[in-house]
C-alpha cells in the first residue's frame, strides 16, 4: 500500500513512540511542513543511534517535507543530563566547533543536503545573548518542580544535578521557538529520551504566544523509539565503545560482526527499522530461516553504512594438517587438543557454514573460515 502521509508510514513501521496532538499533526503533514532534528556535537562523528534518527529524517524528506539539521554547538557545551547518572564532560566551544565540522561532513552520506538546511545554535545562543534577558524572557516560563518531575532527571537528583544542566532544557526549548519564528519550523523530531526537552519547546512556544497576546502557532513534537534490544538495553554499545559510522572508528568488519551477533529476537525489529522491506515479508523471512535473515540484515545494514565491503576477517597461515583439532591448536583458537575436542563436541565450531561435532573431522587442503562461538571468526590459509 502506497501511503500519502508520512505519519502513517512512520507509524506502520513502529517509528512513532510519542507525539503531541496526533490528529492535528497528521492533518498538518498532509502538506509540506518544515521540521528539524537536533544533533549535539559531543564527538566528531555519528553513531548508530544518530543514523536511526537520520533515517527517519530522510523519510520525512522523501515525503516532500523540508528538513533542518540543528547542530547544537552551544547546547553541547552544557550537556544534556537526561537519563545520565553523572554530569557529562564539559566541552569548550573550540571542541564543539571541531566536532560540528566532522558531523556536518558525515551528514551528506545519509540525507539529501540539497533539501536540508544546516544551522548552528551558537548563532543565537552564543556570546551575544544577555543572561538577564534570557532568564526573564525564557527562564520565567519554566517551573523547576515540573522539570524535576520528568523521568529523565530522576537519576541525577541524588548525584548533584547542577543549575548548568537544568539550563539545557531551556536552551533546547528556545531552539525550537527560534526556528519556529525565524524559519516557520513547526515540528521537532528526536529519540524518545528527548521527549521532555522537545515537549518543553512546544510548551514554551505556547506560553510566549499567550504572554504576548498572539495567536498560538502550530508546534508539534514527535519522538521515535530508542534503539534497544529485546532485553530493553540500548543497542550500539560494543567492547570498544560506541558503534560509529566512520570506518576509522568502527571498521566494516566490526560493524558487521556487531549485527551478525545480535540476539535472534532482535532481527525482525532491525530489519523493520533499517530496511524498506514490507513487515509481512520481514516476518516471513524471520519465521522461515532466522540465520539467513540475520545474515541478510547484517550485510544490508553494513552496506548502507560502508557500501560493498569485504569482511576483512582476520587470517592466519598454517601448514597443511588434515585434523581440525590440530588446526584449532595451531591457529590459537584452542590452547590444547583437549580444549579443541571440547569445543567441537559442544558444537562451538563452524567450518565455513557447517557446524562440526566430530572430533576426528578432517579438513580439505584449501583456505576456509572457522567460527568459534558467536563472535570469533578466523580465516585459515593453508600452506602446503
Answer whether residue 281 shows pLDDT above 50. yes
Which residues span the domain enclosing 14? 6-224
pTM higher than 0.85 for the full model? no
| One domain for residues 280 and 355 | no
Confidence of residue 253 (pLDDT cuts 50, 70, 90): confident
Q: Does residue 205 fall inside a structural domain?
A: yes
Q: Which of 224, 257, 288 is the last residue of a domain?
A: 224
- Residue 125: the pLDDT is 92
| One domain for residues 132 and 24 | yes
Confidence of residue 301 (pLDDT cuts 50, 70, 90): very high
Q: Does residue 231 fall inside a structural domain?
A: no
| Lowest-pLDDT choice from 54-68, 99-113, 119-133, 310-324 | 310-324
Distance CA 110, CA 235 (A): 20
| Lowest-pLDDT choice from 149-158, 169-178, 349-358 | 149-158
Confidence of residue 126 (pLDDT cuts 50, 70, 90): confident
Q: Is 172 part of the annotated catalytic residue set?
A: yes
Which CATH number is 252's domain given? Answer: 1.10.240.10
Q: Does residue 229 fall inside a structural domain?
A: no
| One domain for residues 322 and 202 | no
* Active-site option among 13, 44, 47, 371: 47
Mean pLDDT confidence for 223-236: 89
Q: Is 88 part of the annotated catalytic residue set?
A: yes
- How much of the chain, in percent, has pLDDT values that exceed 70? 95
- How much of the chain, in percent, has pLDDT values that exceed 90? 55
| One domain for residues 182 and 113 | yes
Q: Does residue 282 fall inside a structural domain?
A: yes
Mean pLDDT confidence for 344-361: 87
- Residue 177: the pLDDT is 96
Answer whether residue 168 shows pLDDT above 80. yes
| Lowest-pLDDT choice from 11-20, 74-83, 154-163, 306-315 | 306-315
* Active-site option among 11, 21, 58, 88: 88
- Residue 383: the pLDDT is 72
Confidence of residue 285 (pLDDT cuts 50, 70, 90): very high
Mean pLDDT confidence for 93-116: 90
| One domain for residues 174 and 262 | no
* Active-site option among 50, 65, 141, 306: 50
281 vs 233, residue with greater confidence: 281
Report the mean per-residue pLDDT for the chain.
89
Answer whether residue 374 shows pLDDT above 80. no
Q: Is 65 part of the annotated catalytic residue set?
A: no
Which CATH number is 328's domain given? Answer: 3.10.290.10
- Residue 317: the pLDDT is 79
Answer whether residue 151 shows pLDDT above 90. no
- Give, rounded to a whole angstrom, the gap between the first and last alpha carbons of the chain: 58
* Active-site option among 84, 98, 337, 341: 84
Q: Is 114 part of the annotated catalytic residue set?
A: no
| One domain for residues 296 and 330 | no
Q: Is 96 part of the annotated catalytic residue set?
A: no
* Active-site option among 61, 77, 106, 172: 172
Distance CA 101, CA 89 (A): 20
| One domain for residues 187 and 169 | yes
Answer whether residue 313 shows pLDDT above 80. no
| One domain for residues 42 and 107 | yes
328: left (phi over 0), alpha (psi -120 to 50) or beta: alpha
Nearest Cα to Cα of residue 324 among 375, 358, 374, 353: 358
Q: Is 362 part of the annotated catalytic residue set?
A: no
- Residue 83: the pLDDT is 79
Confidence of residue 20 (pLDDT cuts 50, 70, 90): very high
Q: Is 363 part of the annotated catalytic residue set?
A: no
* Active-site option among 238, 275, 299, 313: 238
Q: Is 47 part of the annotated catalytic residue set?
A: yes
- Residue 1: the pLDDT is 46
Q: Quick check: 58 and 112 in contact, CB under 8 A?
A: yes
Q: Does residue 22 fall inside a structural domain?
A: yes
* Active-site option among 40, 193, 246, 266: 193
Q: Is 375 part of the annotated catalytic residue set?
A: no
Q: Does residue 232 fall inside a structural domain?
A: no
| One domain for residues 75 and 106 | yes
* Active-site option among 58, 101, 207, 237: 237
| One domain for residues 120 and 168 | yes
- Residue 375: the pLDDT is 66
* Active-site option among 234, 287, 355, 375: 234
| One domain for residues 10 and 52 | yes
- Residue 310: the pLDDT is 62
* Active-site option among 20, 42, 61, 194: 42
| Helices of type H across 13-90 | 22-28, 48-62
- Residue 384: the pLDDT is 63
In this structure, what DSSP letter does residue 81 have? -
Strand partners, 35: 67, 187
- Residue 2: the pLDDT is 58
Which CATH number is 179's domain given? Answer: 3.40.50.620
Distance CA 133, CA 382 (A): 73
How many domains, the chain?
A: 3
Of the ranges 214-218, 296-300, 324-328, the best mean pLDDT one:
296-300
| One domain for residues 20 and 159 | yes
176 vs 153, residue with greater confidence: 176
| Grid cell 548508530 in the structure block, residue | 48
Amino acid at each position: 500500500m502506497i501511503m500519502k502521509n508520512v505519519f502513517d508510514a512512520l507509524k506502520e513501521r513502529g517509528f512513532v513512540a510519542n507525539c503531541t496532538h496526533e490528529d492535528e499533526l497528521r492533518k498538518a503533514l498532509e502538506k509540506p511542513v518544515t521540521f528539524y532534528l537536533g544533533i549535539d556535537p559531543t564527538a566528531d562523528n555519528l553513531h548508530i543511534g544518530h543514523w536511526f534518527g537520520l533515517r527517519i529524517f530522510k523519510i520525512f524528506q522523501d515525503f516532500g517535507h523540508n528538513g533542518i539539521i540543528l547542530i547544537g554547538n552551544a547546547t553541547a557545551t552544557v550537556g544534556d543530563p537526561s537519563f545520565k547518572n553523572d554530569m557529562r564532560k564539559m566541552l569548550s566551544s573550540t571542541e564543539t566547533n571541531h566536532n560540528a565540522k566532522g558531523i556536518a561532513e558525515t551528514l551528506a552520506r545519509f540525507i539529501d543536503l540539497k533539501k536540508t538546511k544546516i544551522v548552528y545554535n551558537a548563532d543565537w545562543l552564543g556570546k551575544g545573548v544577555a543572561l538577564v534577558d534570557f532568564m526573564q524572557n525564557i527562564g520565567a516560563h519554566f517551573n523547576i518542580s515540573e522539570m524535576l518531575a520528568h523521568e529523565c532527571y530522576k537519576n541525577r537528583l541524588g548525584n548533584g544535578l547542577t543549575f548548568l544542566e537544568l539550563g539545557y532544557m531551556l536552551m533546547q526549548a528556545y531552539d525550537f521557538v527560534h526556528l519556529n519564528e525565524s524559519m516557520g519550523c513547526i515540528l521537532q523530531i528526536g529519540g524518545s529520551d528527548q521527549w521532555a526537552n522537545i515537549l518543553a519547546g512546544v510548551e514554551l512556544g505556547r506560553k510566549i504566544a499567550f504572554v504576548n497576546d498572539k495567536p498560538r502557532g502550530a508546534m508539534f513534537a514527535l519522538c521515535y523509539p530508542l534503539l534497544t534490544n529485546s532485553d530493553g538495553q540500548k543497542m550500539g554499545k560494543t567492547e570498544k565503545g560506541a558503534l560509529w559510522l566512520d570506518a576509522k572508528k568502527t571498521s566494516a568488519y566490526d560493524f558487521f560482526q556487531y549485527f551478525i551477533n545480535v540476539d535472534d529476537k532482535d532481527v525482525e525489529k532491525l530489519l523493520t527499522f533499517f530496511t524498506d522491506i514490507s513487515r509481512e515479508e520481514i516476518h516471513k523471512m524471520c519465521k522461515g530461516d532466522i540465520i539467513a535473515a540475520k545474515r541478510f540484515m547484517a550485510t544490508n545494514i553494513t552496506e548502507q553504512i560502508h557500501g560493498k565491503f569485504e569482511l576483512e576477517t582476520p587470517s592466519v597461515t598454517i601448514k597443511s594438517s588434515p585434523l581440525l583439532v590440530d588446526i584449532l591448536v595451531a591457529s590459537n583458537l584452542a590452547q590444547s587438543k583437549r580444549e579443541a575436542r571440547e569445543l567441537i563436541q559442544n558444537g562451538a565450531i563452524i567450518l565455513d557454514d557447517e557446524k562440526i561435532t566430530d572430533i576426528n573431522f578432517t579438513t580439505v587442503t584449501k583456505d576456509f573460515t572457522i567460527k568459534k562461538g558467536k563472535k570469533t571468526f578466523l580465516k585459515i590459509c593453508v600452506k602446503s
